[in-house]
Amino acid sequence: MKNKKRRILLSIYKKLYTRFGPQGWWPARGAFEVMIGAILTQNTAWPNVEKAIVNLKRDKLLSVRKMLRVPSRNLKAYIRPSGFYNEKAKKLKTFVKFLSRFCNGDINRLRVYDTERLRKEFLNIKGVGPETADSMLLYALNRPVFVVDAYTKRVFLRHKLISGNAGYDETQDFFMSNLPKKVKLFNEYHALIVAVGKNHCKKTNPFCGDCPLKTFKHGKDVV
């Protein structure tokens, strides 16, 4: 059974990779920038996040120290294009305060902690939920953690590979217990799911068309 799931998951990966090619995630440079991007992209289209990051970069605010110092109302102005800027400014402040306390603002010092410990620490930060924490672990710190998002649930529910009431942890476990725990694989897989979710398994169109997953069982979302 486990082997069957593993075969299916690897087969899906292969089809997606063949169709969309390497995605080169995360589209950012440096661990800190990835982490900031992970917060800014919460329920937000990436192009809007990029605008915010460009603003931050322009005035060299992409460092723990600088972001600690900048007044909140200024920070809000910088990140405005990414939406939810009042909330996100608070989240960014909370996050850099955590970093300065936990690792003296030095991302390299996070290396000494094991993945489970770091995940626990991240989840304790207000504004960092499971997807954001896992994105940071995988894409900033290169830990083998599978990132689940809205696309993951929609695509895999539509192809009847997970159940409608599967939560974050259960969905994540489906991938992590049936796939080799490899950073490169998890990195590419999640990005490919986003690609197919954007292009085919859309909310408003329950039918696959030339979806690369059309050979898998498929139907409208139940529940």
Partner DNA sequence: GCCCAGGTGGGTA
Partner DNA sequence: TACCCACATGGG
Q: Which residues bind DNA (CB under 7 A)?
A: 25-27, 37-38, 41-48, 51, 80-81, 83-88, 125-133, 135, 139, 149-151, 165, 168, 194, 197-198, 202-204
Question: Minimum distance from CB of 222 to DNA (Å)?
Answer: 14
* Residue 96 CB, nearest approach to DNA (Å): 15
Minimum CB–partner distance for residue 140 and DNA (Å): 10
- Residue number, 12 or 171, with CB nearest to DNA: 171
Measured from the CB of residue 3, what is the shortest distance to DNA in angstroms? Answer: 30
- Contact in structure between 35 and 141 (CB atoms under 8 Å): no
Closer by beta carbon to DNA, 164 or else 180: 164
The span from the CA of 127 to the CA of 130, in Å, is 10
DSSP string for 102-127:
HHTT-GGGGGGS-HHHHHHHHHTSTT
CB-nearer residue toward DNA: 5 or 144: 144
CB of 111 to DNA, least distance (A): 21
- Measured from the CB atom, the residue of 25 and 156 that comes closer to DNA is 25
Q: What is the number of other CB atoms lying within 10 angstroms of the CB of residue 48?
A: 16
Residue 62 tokens read as: 């992409």
Helices in the chain by DSSP H: which ranges? 2-20, 31-40, 46-58, 64-69, 72-79, 85-103, 115-123, 130-135, 150-158, 168-176, 183-199
Sole residue written with tokens 């990414």 = 82
**Between 161 and 196, whose beta carbon lies closer to DNA?**
196
